[in-house]
Structures are given as C-alpha cells and as structure tokens.
C-alpha cells in the first residue's frame, strides 16, 4: 500500500499548493491513502468546514488536527458530522469529534488514522500513550486495519520518538507534526514502523513557521502588545512523507516529499 502524509497546512499558500499538487501526485504515484494535517489551514489558526472540504476534495482521505483544533468556533459543530476530520484522541472526555477514523481505500483496504497531542511544552491533556493504546487495541494492525497512520502533534522530539518506539510494529507510520520544520530522521524502526519527527508544513517557508515575518520578529525584540499574527502569502511548498507497506501493513519504504521554493525538492524516486 502507498501512503502519503502531508504536514501542517498553513494559510492560503498551504491550501493552494495542496490543491495544485496533490491531485496529480495521487494519480502519478497511485496513492492508496493520503492524510493531511489541517490545524493551521484557516489563516494559521484552526480549520473551517469549507477549508476541510477543499482539502478532502483535493485528494486527502482524512484530515488531522492539533492544538488549534477549535480556534475556529464552527469546528465545534461541523467536526461531529465530518467523519474524516480527526482531532487529538487525548482531548478530555466530552470534546466534540473523534480521535481516530477508519478510511476505506478504493481497493477496499482499511486504514486507521489516529491523532494524538503531546504534553511536553503543550497544553495539559489526557495521556496520549493511553489514548493511542485504546485506539489501536480497538482496531489492531493486521486484524481490523490493513495500515495504521498515527499523527503525533507535539513540541518535543523526545516525546515523538518515545511514541514511535511505543507503537513500533503496531503502526505503519508514526509521524510528528506541529513544529513546521521538516526533520531529516526518516527511517523504518526495527519492528517495521516508519517514523519521522516532523513532517514540516505545507506553506510559505519565507516566513516564521508560515506566518508573516514582521510581527514574530517584533515579538522577539520587544515585549509589548502588537498586531495579530497573519499567515505569510508567498508561494507554498508541499512537505510530507511517503511510505510503502507490505501485506502485513509494515513499512518497506520511507521517503521525504518536498515540492516548491526555499527547500531542496525531494520525493520517492522509486515511485516514478
């Protein structure tokens, strides 16, 4: 099975590069399942129903979220009726939405998509390890799922790495999001789980984490009130990770994906 995970979509540049690149990549690489983190898609803060639909129509099978899940208040309502939109599973009990979903591919395979949020240097949340254990126990790889993708939305690399080792052999892919900078540690762990500490972002890299540079820079130089952060508006770069799995749902190939300005372009050459 061929899987593609795309990092945090930030504002209009991220949405545009998804709309422009993803449909062609889906056909060119014969992708079975695409998951996109969309928690910054609405101007850098949350997601709206229209934007979620836009990402799904571009070729995503599921959209994951993170600490900005409910920055757009409408998400409190529409998340309940959109089964392919997944917020962190370790939000407190009673939070609208779901922390996992099962996507059926065109060939009838089942892909479990799980989203959790870290606790180091992040908002206080329920235990993400226990939440992931609950979701994977209910839909284990090789039994109820043919592939498992886990988005770990976290600040600390140590927490993401620990999560990957915790799930090694039980997930096809454990991938980090949130820090918006792609890391170079993509690999297949001993148990067969593909891993990357951070998928980076789909957005304008001539920025500060996808936001226009002036206000973030001012905040570092001056500790005074200022203007609202706004998403950068230059050309976006598509950024994520490609994974190929075997009949057991374990990874046999992992490769970074980057198309666009400011970063070196790369993709899984074996798929061309």
* 105: Cβ contacts below 8 Å, ≥ 6 apart: 1, 32, 33, 61, 111
153 is an annotated ligand-binding site residue:
yes
90 is an annotated ligand-binding site residue:
no
8 is an annotated ligand-binding site residue:
yes
180 is an annotated ligand-binding site residue:
yes
The residues annotated with a catalytic role in the active site are: 68
**Sequence ranges of the binding site:** 8, 39-40, 67, 153, 178, 180
**Sequence ranges of the binding site for Fe cation:** 8, 39-40, 67, 153, 178, 180
């Amino acid at each position: 099975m061929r899987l593609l995970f795309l990092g945090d979509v930030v504002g209009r540049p991220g949405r545009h590069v998804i709309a422009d690149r993803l449909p062609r990549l889906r056909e060119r690489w014969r992708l079975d399942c695409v998951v996109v983190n969309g928690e910054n898609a609405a101007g850098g803060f949350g997601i709206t129903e229209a934007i979620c639909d836009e990402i799904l129509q571009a070729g995503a099978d599921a959209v994951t979220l993170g600490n900005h899940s409910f920055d757009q208040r409408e998400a409190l309502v529409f998340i309940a009726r959109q089964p392919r939109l997944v917020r962190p599973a370790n939000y407190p009990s009673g939070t609208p939405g779901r922390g996992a979903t099962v996507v059926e591919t065109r060939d009838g395979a089942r892909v479990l998509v799980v989203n959790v949020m870290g606790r180091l240097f992040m908002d206080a949340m329920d235990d993400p390890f226990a939440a992931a254990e609950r979701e994977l126990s209910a839909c284990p790889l090789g039994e109820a799922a043919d592939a498992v993708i886990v988005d770990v939305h976290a600040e600390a690399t140590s927490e993401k790495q620990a999560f990957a080792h915790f799930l090694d052999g039980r997930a096809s892919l454990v991938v980090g999001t949130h820090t918006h900078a792609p890391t170079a540690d993509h690999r297949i762990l001993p148990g067969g789980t593909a891993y990357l500490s951070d998928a980076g972002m789909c957005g304008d890299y001539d920025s500060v984490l996808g936001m226009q540079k002036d206000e973030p820079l001012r905040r570092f130089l001056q500790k005074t009130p200022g203007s609202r952060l706004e998403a950068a508006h230059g050309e976006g770069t598509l950024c994520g990770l490609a994974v190929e799995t075997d009949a057991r749902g374990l990874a046999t190939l992992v490769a970074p994906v980057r198309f666009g300005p400011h970063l070196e372009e790369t993709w899984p050459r074996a798929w061309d």
